[in-house]
A = this chain, B = another copy of it.
């Protein structure tokens, strides 16, 4: 495995390394370890102890909750430069979600206690964490309340826009998820998700070939998303 110093890794992906002192960096460094994952590997398993907090260095990760046997909700897709499960580390002792690699992914696991102690003594870093927690919370509430009141076409339009605008910044992209997983992201069933995508395709709102989707009418997609 390649060797990177922690500060190199952090600098490469992030701006917050400069919030940390050399002493803090070395404490983080000596309590962290880098792990590589392949598609479908579990990075975090729901209900395990949050003794380490994952920081995504590279790759794409789905965050999901198994509500019961045969009922999973995908909360969001995480990109590099994110701490996964900040809330859990600061309030629970366990992770209330699973994190699963969607592609070749590198993760830095940071000891929770060391992480917390640095947050506790470094208020600039704490402020950065507060902002991340706040944005995440607003995203979660926004997305989940949308799932609650919108009906299917609006929810499917939402996930198309999510990948287009927030994950890939492109009108054409390849879904990193199966239809089953897309359904779990849109809060519906595989069959309903497939049907809705087919309707969008028939109506020439999108073009879809296997996993490659192209938005043909941004306008209509946005309207569907807005009207719910």
Contact = CB atoms under 8 A, between A and B. Distances in A.
Contact of A88 (B90, B129, B138): B138
Question: A92, A119, A123, A129 — which one has the most chain B CB atoms within 10 A of its CB?
Answer: A123
Interface in A122-159: 122-124, 126-127, 129-131, 133-138, 140-142, 144-149
Interface string A70-93: 010101000000000011111110
Copies of this protein in the assembly total 2
A138 B140 CA distance: 10
Contact of A134 (B90, B121, B138): B90
Interface of A: 65, 67-68, 71, 73, 75, 86-92, 96, 119-124, 126-127, 129-131, 133-138, 140-142, 144-149, 187, 228
A114 B105 CA distance: 41
A121 B90 CA distance: 20
Contacts of A145: 65, 67, 73, 75, 144
A91 B138 contact: yes
Contacts of A86: 134
Nearest to A130: B90
